[in-house]
Structure 1
Amino acid sequence: MALPKQFKEENFESIRIYHYVEELVYSYREYMGDLLKDNEIPLTEAPFLIRLRFSDNTTQMELTKLFKVSKGYTAKLLRRFEDKGWIIREEDSSNRRKKIVNLTPEGVKKTDELIALLDTWEDKVSSGLSDVEISVLKNLLFKLVMETENF
């Protein structure tokens, strides 16, 4: 990937965080898009499945809000995941209108595959960093993400 000319080591502090994030997202999408081209799940749907891996008893509504998509899109996507055997949706015992979404064992296997691809990308982009630098980077990114809750 060819970086824009603004990315020079002598001016790294003057580059906006947004531009760094944009380049990282582009790199990730390009890398994963190529790998998922012949896979059962497109790049646009993979984040839903990965999010379910790290959430217990997530509701359909929570996914809709989290990904800022329509209720219809979420329902359609979850139906596709159900058809593939990756998730189950169950009624919430305290509110029958709520649907709780959880991964099946097949869904866990699929997310293992996706996470392995994600980890490979992360290892590649962070290969020039020490363990301490990676830890500092993650700490700083965590702080930035926590600030987004205030919007």
Structure 2
Amino acid sequence: MVNIDWENDRIVFTPTNLYMEYILLSYNNFLKDNLDDVQITYGELTYIYNIKYYPGISQRELAETLFVSEANIAKMVKKLVNKGLVEKRKDENNKSRNILFLTDKGEEVFVKINVLTCGWERKITKKLSNEKYFEFKEILYELTKESVDL
């Protein structure tokens, strides 16, 4: 666990992924406490966000984006379809390809999650000015892009 009394050298030498993991664990707990009425898991959130941001994404493209197998995608998509959050359609140009969209219920869940997430982010970044907060997000975006190419 992160200790508020760590010395600067320990902060510098602690791997970035460990900090990210602590943040994600905290976020997961926050969502568990605040999403009682929405029957989704933390693991399903990434799928919902990606389908929202890339409407019409194919299952294969989603697998490539999330670094998981197509079998994993098929299982998760089936769960999300059964929950009424995702709609799976055959691609008109390639009938062997499934493309994904959020349903109206999925859109509602996305909005609820996004509102909660924005509130959580502001709580954990309250000591940052708006400028530093946006700079931090830009840095995370750049790190994300760089990590994809490894």
After TM superposition, list the pairs within 5 Å mapping 1:2-151 onto structure 2: 3-4=2-3, 8=6, 10-11=8-9, 12-36=11-35, 39-151=38-150
Q: Following the alignment from structure 1 to structure 2, what is the Cα–Cα distance between the partners of residues 124 and 95?
A: 45
1:3: Cα distance to partner? 2.2
* 1:4-42 per-position Cα deviation (integer Å, ceiling 9, x unaligned): 47x636444444322322221222122223334553111
- Asked if 1 retains the 8 angstrom alpha-carbon contact of 2:86 and 2:102, the reply is yes
Q: Following the alignment from structure 2 to structure 1, what is the Cα–Cα distance between the partners of residues 32 and 66?
A: 19
Gaps in structure 1 of 5+ consecutive residues: none
- Asked if 1 retains the 8 angstrom alpha-carbon contact of 2:38 and 2:109, the reply is no
Larger deviation, residues 112-121 vs 67-76: 67-76
1:83: Cα distance to partner? 2.5
Q: Following the alignment from structure 1 to structure 2, what is the Cα–Cα distance between the partners of residues 8 and 48?
A: 35
Report the TM-score when normalising by structure 1: 0.83
Matched position secondary structure for 2:42 = coil
- Asked if 1 retains the 8 angstrom alpha-carbon contact of 2:88 and 2:100, the reply is yes
Report the TM-score when normalising by structure 2: 0.84
Could you say if the C-alpha distance between residues 33 and 4 of structure 1 is closer, same or farther in structure 2, counting changes exceeding 3 Å? same
What's the Cα RMSD here? 2.2
Larger deviation, residues 12-21 vs 52-61: 12-21
- Asked if 1 retains the 8 angstrom alpha-carbon contact of 2:125 and 2:133, the reply is yes
Between the two proteins, the alignment pairs up a number of residues equal to: 149
The AA in structure 1 aligned to 2:140 is L
Matched position secondary structure for 1:127 = coil
Q: Following the alignment from structure 1 to structure 2, what is the Cα–Cα distance between the partners of residues 28 and 115?
A: 12
